[in-house]
Structures are given as structure tokens and as C-alpha cells.
């Protein structure tokens, strides 16, 4: 189980960790939400530290968006671009999968990255101004938990090998249950009931996303997992910024 955590951290972030990878990569799926927690804490601390140096929320938010992309090597943004190009330009399963496999970024991919980064920046600026930036932590947990749910409940859509296949092919509902329990207690301890609400909104999105891609191509790919993470993260950031709900966070 611990090897699954090591693999999850190495796969979803640039955080260096010692130890061996899991023999079954699907074991890493259990820990995706935990990695989101680590990344969320990192962003939270960077914003908190930035506010000690300057009262320029736009600049701090810009750095947070950059740090988020850098800490994940941009793999989720790359998945978002491929997903947008594939589903934007393809009308059959074969065409969608072919376009997504192409490493070149098309118009749909470029626009999706631009809009996601823009809306993240706008949302984080608002959260900083309202002193609600601690919401970033449960949001990052929820967006990674979405990947756990999709990996555990949908088949791999491609024939042959793919970057996401080792994580998906042996993942089961048991993995998603463990992933949910870990994520649930993390956000409950960090932010109480509001964190749980955020978690469940992410789960609702995973149901919608799973239904959509299963209907279109019969399953998921690594690109779809990355795209689901980015879209969930952006939607939740925007929602929390728009609602401007104040809450007491337990750990801060």
C-alpha cells in the first residue's frame, strides 16, 4: 500500500520521494486524493507566504497558477489539450483517439489551456481578496479524487498500451472506496463541512464526465484523466470564488 503512495506522488507531482514503486500501478489510484492534499498545502503555503511579502493578490495568484502547473510537470494540462482537440475535432471513437494521441496541440487544445489558466487566476485572485484561499486544499483533493473514481469505474478505451492503462486496467471499486475515505477525512479535518461539500461536488462531476466519455469512446484514457482533473479544479475554484462563502478552517 505504501508503494502505491510513492507511485502516486511520483506520477502526479515532482515531489521527490524515496522507495520502490508499486508492483500494481492501480494501487496508486487509492492515493490520488492524498497527493492533491499535498499539492493544495503547497499552494496554500505559497499564497500565505506571498501575502507576507506583498499585498498584490494578482501577482500572488499568478505565481500560484504557475506553481501548480510546474509541480505537476504540466501533465494534466497536456491531457486537457489532447482531450479538447480529440473531442472537439473528432466525431467517431477512432478519430477522437487518433487526435488525442497526436502530440501536436491544435486550436481547441490551445484555447482550453488558455481559458483554464485564465479562470484559475481570476478565481484565486478572488479567493485571496476574500481570505478564502484555504479552499484550494479541498479543491485539489477533490480534483484528484475524480481521477480515482474514473480509473476505478471505467475501462481503458484504447487497444494496446497507453500511459494511463497500467493505472486503469486493475483498478476496482475497492480502490475508489479507499480513495474516497482517505480524501473524506483529509478535507473534513482541514475544512470541516465545506470541504466535504466540495468533495461531493467533484464526485458529481465525475459521474457526468464518466457518463459522457463512456458514451463517446467507451472508456477513459490518460488524457481524459488529466483533463478531468483540470476541469474539476477550475470549476471548483470558480464556484468557490463566485459563492464567496466564508468558513472556519480547522488547521489554520
pLDDT of 134-173, one tens digit each? 999 999 999 999 999 999 999 998 887 777 788 888 888 8
Residue 203 lies in a domain: yes
Name residues whose C-beta falls within 8 Å of residue 94's C-beta, 6 or more positions apart in sequence: none
- What is the number of structural domains in the chain? 1
Read off the pTM: 0.93
Q: What confidence category does residue 250 fall into, taking pLDDT thresholds of 50, 70 and 90?
A: very low
Residue 180 lies in a domain: yes
Name residues whose C-beta falls within 8 Å of residue 220's C-beta, 6 or more positions apart in sequence: 150, 151, 154, 155, 156, 157, 164, 168, 210, 213
Dig out the grid coordinates for 86 from the structure.
Answer: 480529440
Note whether 33 and 179 are within 8 A (CB).
Answer: yes
DSSP label at residue 220: B
Residue 25 lies in a domain: no
Query: Could you give the 3-state DSSP secondary structure of residue 10?
Result: helix
Q: For the CA atoms of 22, 28, 34, 38, what is the dihedral angle to 10 degrees?
A: 60
> Could you list the residue range(s) of the whole structural domain that residue 211 is in?
35-243
Residue 19 lies in a domain: no
Residue 52 lies in a domain: yes
Contacts for 18-27: CB closer than 8 Å, 24+ residues apart: 24/170, 25/166, 25/167, 25/170, 26/151, 26/166, 26/167, 26/168, 26/169, 26/170, 26/171, 26/172, 26/175, 27/1, 27/3, 27/175
Q: Tell me: pLDDT of 252 over 70.
A: no
Residue 213 lies in a domain: yes
Dig out the grid coordinates for 215 from the structure.
Answer: 458514451
Residue 196 lies in a domain: yes
Residue 15 lies in a domain: no
Q: What would the pLDDT profile of 82-137 be if each residue is shown by its tens digit?
A: 999 999 988 889 999 999 988 889 999 999 999 999 999 999 999 999 999 999 99
Amino acid at each position: 500500500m505504501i508503494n502505491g503512495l510513492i507511485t502516486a506522488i511520483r506520477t502526479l507531482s515532482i515531489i521527490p520521494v524515496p522507495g520502490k514503486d508499486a508492483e500494481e500501478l492501480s494501487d496508486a489510484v487509492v492515493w490520488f486524493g492524498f497527493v492533491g492534499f499535498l499539492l493544495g498545502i503547497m499552494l496554500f503555503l505559497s499564497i500565505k507566504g506571498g501575502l507576507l511579502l506583498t499585498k498584490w493578490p494578482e501577482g500572488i495568484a499568478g505565481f500560484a497558477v504557475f506553481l501548480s502547473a510546474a509541480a505537476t510537470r504540466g501533465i494534466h494540462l497536456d491531457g486537457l489539450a489532447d482531450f479538447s482537440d480529440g473531442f472537439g475535432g473528432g466525431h467517431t471513437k477512432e478519430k477522437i483517439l487518433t487526435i488525442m494521441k497526436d502530440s501536436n496541440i491544435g486550436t481547441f487544445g490551445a484555447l482550453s489551456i488558455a481559458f483554464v489558466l485564465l479562470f484559475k487566476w481570476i478565481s484565486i485572485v478572488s479567493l485571496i481578496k476574500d481570505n478564502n484561499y484555504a479552499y484550494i486544499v479541498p479543491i485539489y483533493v477533490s480534483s484528484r479524487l475524480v481521477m480515482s473514481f474514473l480509473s476505478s469505474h471505467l475501462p481503458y478505451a484504447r487497444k494496446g498500451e497507453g500511459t494511463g492503462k497500467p493505472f486503469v486496467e486493475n483498478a476496482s471499486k475497492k480502490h475508489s472506496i479507499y480513495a474516497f475515505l482517505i480524501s473524506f477525512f483529509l478535507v473534513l479535518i482541514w475544512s470541516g463541512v465545506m470541504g466535504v461539500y466540495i468533495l461531493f461536488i467533484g464526485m458529481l462531476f465525475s459521474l457526468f464526465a464518466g457518463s459522457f466519455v463512456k458514451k463517446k469512446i467507451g472508456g477513459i484514457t490518460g488524457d481524459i484523466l488529466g483533463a478531468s482533473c483540470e476541469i474539476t479544479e477550475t470549476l471548483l475554484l470558480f464556484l468557490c470564488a463566485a459563492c464567496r462563502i466564508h468558513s472556519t478552517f480547522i488547521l489554520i
